[in-house]
Amino acid sequence: MDNNMPGGAVPSAGAGKKFLVWVSILLGVAFFVIGYIYVTHSAGSLPSFFPGYSAGAAGIHAKHAIASFVVGIACFIYGWFASGPKAPPST
């Protein structure tokens, strides 16, 4: 089986790395939006598929919001370090 891409191009390891960087950035943005929703909406007005949804509840879920922001920051940190230059070859 031929693992080459159409046109004879051989996929590089950098293409997969770049894809993961973009996925981590998009996930970071998504988790920041989810954290913002947790901070600004009460438990009764959250979307029903969100963990912590409770019909009629008035409180916010601070722990869910903090956890979402932390995961978002971790995604951004991964994207930052994964997009950096390759280490120089050791001699």
pLDDT along the chain (91 residues), means of 10: 55 73 94 92 80 70 89 94 79 69
Query: How many whole angstroms from its chain centre is CA 48?
Result: 21
Best CA proximity match to 20, nearest among 70, 79, 69, 62:
79
Q: Is residue 4 part of a domain?
A: no
Cα–Cα distance between 75 and 82 in angstroms, integer? Answer: 10
Considering its fold, how many domains does the chain have in total? 1
Q: Is residue 8 part of a domain?
A: no
Q: Which domain holds residue 53?
A: 14-82
pLDDT for residue 43: 78
pLDDT for residue 47: 81
pLDDT for residue 61: 77
pTM: 0.72
Q: Is residue 3 part of a domain?
A: no
pLDDT for residue 9: 55
